[in-house]
Chains A and B, each alone.
Chain A
Amino acid sequence: MAFSELTCFRSFRLIVLPLAVAALAASALAAPRKPLTDSELLERLPLRAGDGSARELATLRAGMLAAPGAPGPAALLAQAYFDLAMARGDPRYVGYAEAVIARFGEPQAASLRVVRGLLRQYRHDFGGALDDFAAALALDPGFAAAHAWRAAIFLVQADYAAAQQECAALQDLGRATLFGGCSGLVQAYSGHLDAGYRTLQQALATTDDPGNRLWLLTRLGEVAAWRGQPALAESHYRAALALGRDDGYLLAAWGDFLLDQNRPAEVLVALAGWESADNLLLRLAEAAAALRRPEAVRLAQALGERFAAAGLRGDTTHRAEEARYRLRLRGDAGAALRLAAENYRVQREPRDARILLEAALAAGDAAAAQPARDWLAASGFEDARLRRLGQELVLVGRRAASPGGAGR
Chain B
Amino acid sequence: MLRRALCLLLLLLALPALAHKASDSYLVLDVQGREVTGQWDIALRDIDFALGLDADGDGGITWGEVRARHAEIAAWALGRLALRRGGECRLAVADHLIDSHSDGSYAVLRLAGSCPSAGGELALDYSLLFELDALHRGLLRLGLDGSTQTAVLSPQRAEQRFAAGEVSRLAQFGQYLVEGIWHIWIGFDHILFLLSLLLPAVLVHEARRWRGVAHFRQALTEVLWVVTAFTVAHSITLSLAALGLVALPSRLVESAIAASVVLAAANNLKPLVERRRWMVAFGFGLIHGFGFASVLVELGLPRETLVLSLLGFNLGVETGQLAIVAAFLPLAYALRGTGFYRRLVFVGGSLATLAIALLWFVERAFDLKLISG
Interface residues of A (CB under 8 A from B): 4, 7-8, 11-12, 15-16, 19-20, 23, 26-27, 30-35, 37-51, 88-92, 94-96, 98-99, 101-103, 272-273, 275-278, 298, 302, 305-306, 309-310, 312-315
Interface residues of B (CB under 8 A from A): 3-4, 6-7, 10-11, 13-24, 39, 44-46, 48-49, 54, 57-64, 66-67, 96-100, 102, 104-105, 108, 110, 130-137, 139, 152, 155
A-B CB contact pairs (8 Å), 5 listed: A44-B59, A96-B133, A98-B134, A99-B130, A302-B102
Cβ–Cβ contact B152 & A312, under 8 A: yes
Shortest Cβ distance from A316 into chain B, in angstroms? 13
Cβ–Cβ contact A306 & B102, under 8 A: yes
Cβ–Cβ contact B14 & A16, under 8 A: yes
Chain A residues with CB below 8 A from B104, complex form: 43
Cβ–Cβ contact B57 & A49, under 8 A: yes
Cβ–Cβ contact B24 & A309, under 8 A: yes
Residue on B nearest A312 in the bound complex, by CB: B139
By Cβ-Cβ distance, the 3 closest A-B pairs, closest first, are A38-B64, A95-B135, A98-B134
11 more CB-based (< 8 A) A-B contacts, given A278-B21, A313-B152: A4-B3, A8-B7, A16-B14, A30-B99, A32-B99, A43-B61, A48-B57, A49-B54, A94-B22, A95-B22, A313-B24
Chain A residues with CB below 8 A from B66, complex form: 42
A45-B45, A313-B137 as given contacts; A37 in contact with B102, CB under 8 Å: no
Chain A residues with CB below 8 A from B10, complex form: 8, 12
Chain A residues with CB below 8 A from B15, complex form: 19, 23
Chain A residues with CB below 8 A from B20, complex form: 88-92, 276-278
A273-B17, A312-B152 as given contacts; A34 in contact with B97, CB under 8 Å: yes
Most A CB atoms within 10 A — which of B16, B17, B45, B57? Answer: B17
Interface of B is mostly: mixed
Contacting residue for B63 out of A8, A42, A48, A314, CB 8 A: A42
Chain B residues with CB below 8 A from A91, complex form: 20-22, 135
Cβ–Cβ contact A272 & B13, under 8 A: yes
Shortest Cβ distance from B204 into chain A, in angstroms? 54
Cβ–Cβ contact A33 & B97, under 8 A: yes
Cβ–Cβ contact A41 & B61, under 8 A: yes
A33 to B106, CA, bound (A): 11
Most A CB atoms within 10 A — which of B7, B14, B61, B110? Answer: B7
Most B CB atoms within 10 A — which of A41, A95, A273, A275? Answer: A95
A26 to B46, CA, bound (A): 22
Residue on B nearest A15 in the bound complex, by CB: B11
Shortest Cβ distance from A263 into chain B, in angstroms? 21
A186 to B155, CA, bound (A): 38
Shortest Cβ distance from B44 into chain A, in angstroms? 4
Contacting residue for A39 out of B14, B22, B48, B63, CB 8 A: B63
Chain B residues with CB below 8 A from A310, complex form: 21
Shortest Cβ distance from A85 into chain B, in angstroms? 9
Cβ–Cβ contact B60 & A92, under 8 A: no
Residue on A nearest B18 in the bound complex, by CB: A276
Most A CB atoms within 10 A — which of B13, B22, B49? Answer: B22
Shortest Cβ distance from A405 into chain B, in angstroms? 41
Most A CB atoms within 10 A — which of B14, B21, B24, B105? Answer: B21
